[in-house]
Structure 1
């Protein structure tokens, strides 16, 4: 082994524990919508198939080429991305700042937990749909594989803290663990939270078990 190879090997050994043992990739998520078949039909025409534009970090999830407008009685946001594939129920995810702009009181919920949530109007050109429920601020969460859950010694639904070091370091509390082998291990926060911690591409967070604090 050459001196250069030895140096590279030593550097890898030094950083590998930090990357693999107790940290997860952290991604910021902007406002977006998930649509069910009935809503797609109403907005784009019966049988319309959304067009994949870009794969996302979670397996099987993707951003679509199509964009729509979301509107309240007070304000609206245009060019909102649709995420595929289609869902069983339509859902719109925004930040707390977005909710203020729309003039709505929007609860923090896990994805899929939309009972009792406010509605929103979806618009595509001359077509529109009024959702009676489905508007949420997404609860900060970590998608985690079963293998990683065992390695981190956490369980589905457990609440942890995540420490993010950067030029605006902070510790996020009330982070829910979501476990499935259909996931890739990644933490998702919205843009309000991303701006609060100065999130950059490739940022990682240290998972802290609350029972150990």
Structure 2
């Protein structure tokens, strides 16, 4: 069974990789760091308390399937069906813990399948976003906004940002190696001290560049 990449494991792997790169002169001591691990984020849902009650029953609590890269966050066992004007996608996993607002994050190919036209948006920014229908085992929720294509982003702590020489809200490029590599534009730096160092992209971006979770890419400051 493949071991999930937790925040602690990602941090350990990153440190080991950077140490090895430094030994061969690719990350000289005293220069800004460049390399970060990739996490591929499949379609998923965040829900609030009221909507979880409707979908799974009054007072229901999410159960953990596995930890994910960001501290305190987890993939839940619970799944829902997303329904849009043109189609549906079943078995879409909920991520915990509960949020203030319900949000669905889909890839562009998912959006076409559902028949919705969500903007590329930062998580939690719902102005101008379309709604969608969520169906659980106990009930149905219709949200009037909150369906997004998640902005490409890199989570960092304040110390990480200093080490990389970047700042919160900065847009950078990312250099990707391999047979389908290239430069990925418009990658947002997100800085907060409860984050773990990790780059998040959706499955469409991962497939386009031949990336998988745990791959290493290089930040290019534009």
Q: Normalized against structure 1, the TM-score is what?
A: 0.89
**Aligned 1:94-109 pairs, distance under 5 A:** 94-109=106-121
Instruction: Tell me which residue corresponds to 1:4.
Output: none
* Structure 1 match to 2:58: 46
Q: Is 1:208 the equivalent of 2:217?
A: no
Q: Distance in 2 between matches of 1:152 and 1:78?
A: 40
For residues 124 and 117 of structure 2, what CA distance do their matches in structure 1 show?
18
RMSD over aligned CA atoms reads 1.9
Q: Which residue of 1 aligns with 2:93?
A: 81
SS in 1 for 2:91: strand
Cα offset for 1:201?
Answer: 3.7
Q: Is the 2:21–2:27 Cα contact (8 Å) retained in structure 1?
A: no
Counterpart-to-counterpart distance in 1, 2:208 and 2:197: 22
Structure 1: distance between partners of 2:20 and 2:197: 26
Alignment of 1:25-174 (within 5 A): 25-125=37-137, 127-174=139-186
Residue 13 (structure 1) aligns with: 23
- Mark the structure with the bigger radius of gyration: 1
Does 1:187 find its partner at 2:176?
no
- Asked if 1 retains the 8 angstrom alpha-carbon contact of 2:82 and 2:90, the reply is yes
Deviation at 1:202, TM superposition (A): 2.2
Deviations 1:15-62 (A, max 9, x none): 7738x9211101111000000001001111111110011000110110
The offset of 1:166, in angstroms, is 1.7
The count of corresponding residues between Structure 1 and Structure 2 is: 201
Using the alignment, how far apart are the partners of 1:159 and 1:67 within structure 2? 33
Specify whether residues 42 and 59 from structure 1 end up closer, same or farther in structure 2 by C-alpha distance, changes over 3 A only. same
- 8 Å contact kept, 2:51–2:141: yes
| Cα displacement string for residues 147-168 of structure 1 (whole angstroms, at most 9, x for unaligned residues) | 1100111110011111111221
**Residues 79-111 of structure 1, C-alpha deviations (whole Å, 9 max, x = no match):** 000000000000000001111111111111000
Could you list the structure 1 runs, at least 4 aligned residues long, displaced by more than 4 angstroms after superposition.
Answer: 9-12
Gap regions ≥5 residues in structure 2: 1-18
Q: Which runs of 5+ in 1 are unaligned?
A: 1-8
Which string of whole-angstrom CA distances, capped at 9 and with x for unpartnered residues, describes residues 120-157 of structure 1?
Answer: 00001351000111000001000011111001111100
